[in-house]
Amino acid sequence: MNALSAANAVAAVASIAFALVGGVRPAALSQSGTPSAGERFYGWMYATRAVPLGLAALFAPIAWPGPAGSLILSAAAAAQVGDAAIGVATRKWTMIAGASLLTAVHAATAVATA
């Protein structure tokens, strides 16, 4: 469980970091030249949801072991499934791979903490 907890922590921190990058520098993730006002808006909108969920996923196995923590980790895994689906739709292979890996880690941790 210690290795899984560590992997979950790394996954959660990575998710938080990418959400913050999306808010601060949306063009870094979208690979557009100059981000539009809408792109900046959606970058921050994504970050305001992903950062709290990432923090919850980071602390859930420790603070809420059992069903509550498992539910939070399942929600984090579901969010990553959505990110992977967006990656498929936009053909961003790094997004597909990263989100799929984070899905697996959060889901495995959810099962282990249930």
The secondary structure of residue 109, as a DSSP letter, is H
Residue with tokens 């689906």: 85
CA 111 to CA 114: how far, in whole Å? 5
57 is in which domain, residue-wise?
2-113
CA 47 to CA 55: how far, in whole Å? 12
pLDDT of residue 9: 96
pLDDT digits (tens, 9 = 90+) for 3-62: 999 999 999 999 999 999 989 988 887 777 788 888 889 889 999 999 999 999 999 999
Average pLDDT over residues 69-76: 96
Instruction: Give the total residue count for the chain.
Output: 114
pLDDT of residue 1: 64
Q: Which residues are CB-contacts of 20 (< 8 A; sequence separation ≥ 6)? A: 47, 51
pLDDT of residue 32: 78
State how many domains the chain has: 1
4-8, 25-29, 68-72, 105-109: least confidently modelled range: 25-29
